[in-house]
Amino acid sequence: MAENRTELNQIGEFGLIERIQKQFSLQNPTSVLGIGDDAAMIDAGQDYLLVTTDMLLEGIHFDLSYMPLQHLGYKAVAVNVSDIAAMNGKPEQITIGLGLSNRFSVEAIDALYSGIQAACENYKVDLVGGDTTASASGLVISITALGRVAKDKVARRSTAKNNDIICVTGDLGAAYMGLQVLEREKQVFLTNPEMQPDLENYEYLVGRQLKPEARMDIVHELAEKNIVPTSMIDISDGLASELMHLGRNSNLGVKIFEENVPIDSMTYETAIEFKLDPITCALNGGEDYELLFTISPADHEKLKNHPDIHFIGHMHSNTQQNVMVTKQQTIVPLKAQGWNHFKSFE
Ligand code: ADP
Ligand code: MG
């Protein structure tokens, strides 16, 4: 047996998903799109029903020493809603799978669910079921979200066209820098519990890490302006990684310009303070939950004055060239670093 053993970190998360995908073919005509996008698409008559699952594990995705349970509940819903948004859909229902140990009190679970409730109200989704079980390894929250989109409005990862303009919402790298700040303050606290955490100057970054929002506002605005993105993905693993998904799935190359990548000044300054390159944080820092999408050049006029949508580059026909033009006008290849969770098994 030993000679047949392949370590998970040899193929990585994306490799593993591809491997699973290859082993299954869709049997039902209602299963329009299976594994490989932000959500699956199920034929529901006039609309597509969208289905997506995201799981958060204690010790991997969150640390309860700085993540309040209320925020965690909110975030667990928001990251699922974000995947529905990434299909240009509207979320409608969620179910929640919960793994718990007796380390948690009833009041702690109340706090978790008050965050879940706040997110349900904000995104107008209904909690319709789930499952609860004992867990030996801390808190586990797995949420499945169901959403809906009109058939001619769906935005997949694979449908970008040559010369389409690449757009990104909000700003990038802040959630990653927020995590760096929280980790630093945790270490300070562990060394000297008398020290109070110094988070005051980093409020925006910490907020982006602890309380991300799904960009449903953008989905609604695009609908109002009668724009259907030619492709879309949400930024959970980092801009570079998501750009590569759009390029690869659409069978095109991507070219972006460093000067157009939106980075908040607090992200920029804090990255420098941590001796990190701000653009690397924006490209490879995860958990921004902004939307990355492409539009036809014909739609640029309708969006060009939008304060929160940035035009960072364009799609092109050379699939071998996924590049960024730096501020110094040099061309560097984009690398899909993403978050390799299997690193923790090494
Ligand atoms: P996202 O970052 O948008 O949540 P993922 O990278 O987690 O997307 O997943 C990519 C695709 O792989 C999705 O279609 C997802 O449903 C599918 N997927 C992920 N893990 C599994 C798994 N263990 N079995 C089957 N499909 C999976
Ligand atoms: Mg996604």
Contact 208, 79 (CB under 8 A): no
Residue 194's domain comprises 165-341
Residue 301 to residues 118, 160, 182, 231, 298, Cα–Cα distance (Å) = 36, 18, 41, 18, 7
For residue 1, being part of any structural domain is answered with no
Quick one: 108 and 30 in the same domain?
yes
Confidence of residue 337 (pLDDT cuts 50, 70, 90): low
Quick one: 58 and 169 in the same domain?
no
End-to-end Cα distance, the chain: 20
- Residue 16 or residue 197, greater confidence: 16
**How many angstroms is it from 86 CA to the middle of ligand 2?**
7
**How many angstroms is it from 59 CA to the middle of ligand 2?**
21
Q: Which residue matches tokens 């010369």?
A: 163
**How many angstroms is it from 191 CA to the middle of ligand 1?**
39
> pLDDT by residue (tens digit) across 148-192?
999 999 999 999 999 999 999 999 999 999 999 999 999 888 888
Quick one: 171 and 141 in the same domain?
no
Nearest ligand by distance to the CA of 36? 1
For residue 159, being part of any structural domain is answered with no
Of 35, 232, 293, the residue with max ligand 1 atoms within 8 A of its CB, to mutate for a pocket test, comes to 35
Confidence of residue 344 (pLDDT cuts 50, 70, 90): very low
Quick one: 144 and 227 in the same domain?
no
Quick one: 183 and 95 in the same domain?
no
For residue 98, being part of any structural domain is answered with yes
Nearest ligand by distance to the CA of 83? 2
Quick one: 15 and 139 in the same domain?
yes
For residue 160, being part of any structural domain is answered with no
Amino acid found at 140? V
For residue 40, being part of any structural domain is answered with yes
> What is this structure's pTM?
0.95
**How many angstroms is it from 38 CA to the middle of ligand 2?**
4
**How many angstroms is it from 14 CA to the middle of ligand 1?**
9
CB atoms within 10 A of CB 24: 9
Quick one: 208 and 327 in the same domain?
yes
Quick one: 112 and 243 in the same domain?
no
Of 8, 11, 17, the residue with max ligand 1 atoms within 8 A of its CB, to mutate for a pocket test, comes to 17
> pLDDT by residue (tens digit) across 94-151?
999 999 999 999 999 999 999 999 999 999 999 999 999 999 879 999 999 999 999 9
Quick one: 255 and 222 in the same domain?
yes
pLDDT, residue 201, reads 85
Task: Give, using CA atoms, the residue closest to atom 15 of ligand 1.
Answer: 35
For residue 55, being part of any structural domain is answered with yes
**How many angstroms is it from 338 CA to the middle of ligand 2?**
12
Q: What's the whole-number mean pLDDT along residues 74-83?
A: 98
- Domain of residue 280, CATH code: 3.90.650.10
Rounded CA-CA distance 38/52 in Å is 7
Rounded CA-CA distance 15/12 in Å is 5
Number of folded domains in the chain? 2
Confidence of residue 339 (pLDDT cuts 50, 70, 90): very low
String of DSSP letters for 275-342: T--HHHHHHH------EEEEE-GGGHHHHTT-TTEEEEEEEES-TT--EEE-TTS-EEE-------GG
- Domain of residue 32, CATH code: 3.30.1330.10
Quick one: 220 and 325 in the same domain?
yes
For residue 157, being part of any structural domain is answered with no
In the listed set 104, 121, 150, which residue is the last one of a domain according to the structure? Answer: 150
Quick one: 326 and 247 in the same domain?
yes
pLDDT, residue 346, reads 30
**Which numbered atom of ligand 1 lies nearest the CA of 83?**
3
Task: Give, using CA atoms, the residue closest to atom 6 of ligand 1.
Answer: 14
Question: Ligand 1 — pocket residues by CB below 6 A?
Answer: 17, 20, 35-38, 54, 83, 236
Contact 82, 143 (CB under 8 A): no
Residue 93 to residues 124, 127, 142, 289, 321, Cα–Cα distance (Å) = 9, 6, 14, 19, 40
Quick one: 98 and 178 in the same domain?
no
**What is the overall mean pLDDT for the chain?**
94
The three-class DSSP label of residue 90 is strand
For residue 297, being part of any structural domain is answered with yes
Task: Give, using CA atoms, the residue closest to atom 8 of ligand 1.
Answer: 38
> pLDDT by residue (tens digit) across 21-42?
999 999 999 999 999 999 999 9
